[in-house]
């Protein structure tokens, strides 16, 4: 049989829910790999790069599945794993070090979006908050974190300059940025590589059910990871859209493929959108290695397209090898 390695980040002694999720991904991928003819082994990635390098070189494989989501619990080091793998000449799943670095830094990603005519909402850092408008609403986001880490209802604020400056004073100014909040609808579009090139899966719309009028309709940390929370129970994914949305969905698909091309993506990715009340879409972010847990949104979209889990893994491997 062929051989594969699953590379995952070292889990902390008291892991959070988003950390534990990577283990669920690893287990599911191991089962799928076995089904398509691969024996697999795990290697844990941390800042001891020499140790990781030695372990990888001692286990020659046909392909490596890169599931590293943080390094030393820091999202800003996530690109270290593809850099190491590229230097060793190991074929691995997902995108390379350049798109990994660019997309993990949300401010740099938005700068790239603008340069490539990919629509994205205005944003500000601590050095440009004097350009915010009192008439608009904004959301604070961590620059480096994924999985809604650091996002709560309190992340939504008005454009009062003093309020914004107070927030940046309370937080480390190089860890957060401010994005103009786009109300309206929210969509996730998953893109899967393979022999025929990137394919956009059916669009998933995020619905906020029975949210109080004054409660922000956002995917915060609770809605993704805290199963007993109101947000988790009342935030749902649907693939059912009306025929009136066909033009909008086609536009989202085209933008997703543009992101794939301009960010030099491969394997798999997810593009997150907000669509305002005038039906204008904005890219929130591009996740180049989205969650592959069996109940994750990416897998749900692939299943909606008629692809079972092993087939998804097989196509991701195809992109890694070719």
pLDDT of residue 269: 98
Tens of pLDDT, residues 122-179: 988 765 555 656 667 888 888 887 656 667 787 787 766 666 666 666 555 568 888 9
Per CATH, the number for 2-92 is: 3.40.50.20
Tens of pLDDT, residues 101-114: 999 999 999 999 99
Q: Dihedral angle at the C-alpha atoms of 171, 172, 174, 176, nearest 10 degrees?
A: -20
Per CATH, the number for 102-119+183-203+239-321 is: 3.30.470.20
pLDDT of residue 165: 65
Helix crossing, 17-35 with 309-321: angle to 10°?
Answer: 90
Tens of pLDDT, residues 67-102: 998 888 788 889 999 999 999 999 999 999 999 999
Tens of pLDDT, residues 208-267: 999 988 888 888 787 877 888 888 899 999 999 889 999 999 999 999 999 999 999 999
Phi, psi torsion values for 113, nearest 5 degrees: -55, -50
> From the centroid of its chain, how far is CA 279?
23
Contact 118, 83 (CB under 8 A): no
Contact 147, 190 (CB under 8 A): no
Q: Which residues contact 145 (CB under 8 A, 6 or more apart)?
A: 75
SS3 for 255-279 is HHHHHHHHCCCCCEEEEEEEECCCC
Annotated domain spans of the chain: 2-92, 102-119+183-203+239-321, 123-180
The length of the chain, given as a count of residues: 322
pLDDT of residue 249: 97
Report the largest interatomic distance among the alpha carbons of the chain, rounded to a whole angstrom: 63
d(CA 70, CA 63): 21
36 pLDDT more than 90 = yes
Contact 52, 316 (CB under 8 A): no
pLDDT of residue 231: 85
């Amino acid at each position: 049989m062929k051989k594969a390695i699953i590379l995952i980040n070292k889990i902390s002694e008291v892991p959070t829910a988003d950390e534990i999720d990577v283990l669920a991904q690893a287990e599911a991928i191991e089962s799928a790999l076995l089904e398509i003819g691969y024996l697999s082994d795990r290697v844990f990635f941390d800042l001891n790069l020499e140790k990781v390098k030695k372990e990888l070189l001692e286990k020659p494989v046909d392909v490596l599945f890169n599931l590293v989501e943080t390094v030393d619990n820091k999202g800003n080091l996530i690109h270290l794993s593809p850099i190491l793998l590229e230097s060793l000449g190991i074929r691995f799943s997902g995108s390379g070090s350049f798109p990994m670095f660019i997309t993990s830094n949300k401010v740099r990603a938005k700068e790239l979006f603008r340069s490539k005519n990919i629509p994205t909402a205005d944003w500000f850092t601590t050095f440009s908050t004097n350009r915010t408008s009192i008439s608009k609403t904004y959301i604070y986001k961590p620059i480096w974190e994924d999985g809604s880490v650091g996002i709560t209802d309190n992340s939504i604020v008005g454009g009062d300059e003093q309020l914004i400056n107070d927030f940046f004073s309370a937080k480390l100014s190089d860890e957060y940025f401010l994005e103009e909040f786009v109300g309206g609808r929210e969509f996730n579009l998953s893109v899967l590589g393979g022999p025929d090139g990137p394919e956009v899966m059916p669009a998933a719309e995020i619905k906020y059910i029975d949210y109080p009028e004054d409660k922000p309709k956002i995917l915060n940390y609770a809605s993704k990871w805290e199963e007993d929370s109101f947000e988790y129970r009342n935030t749902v994914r649907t693939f059912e859209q009306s025929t009136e949305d066909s033009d909008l969905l086609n536009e989202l698909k085209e933008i997703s493929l543009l992101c794939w091309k301009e960010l030099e993506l491969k394997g798999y990715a997810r593009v997150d959108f907000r669509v305002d009340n005038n039906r204008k879409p904005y890219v929130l972010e591009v996740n180049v290695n989205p969650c592959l847990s069996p109940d994750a949104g990416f897998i749900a979209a692939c299943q909606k397209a008629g692809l079972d889990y092993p087939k998804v893994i097989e196509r991701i491997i195809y992109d890694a090898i070719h």
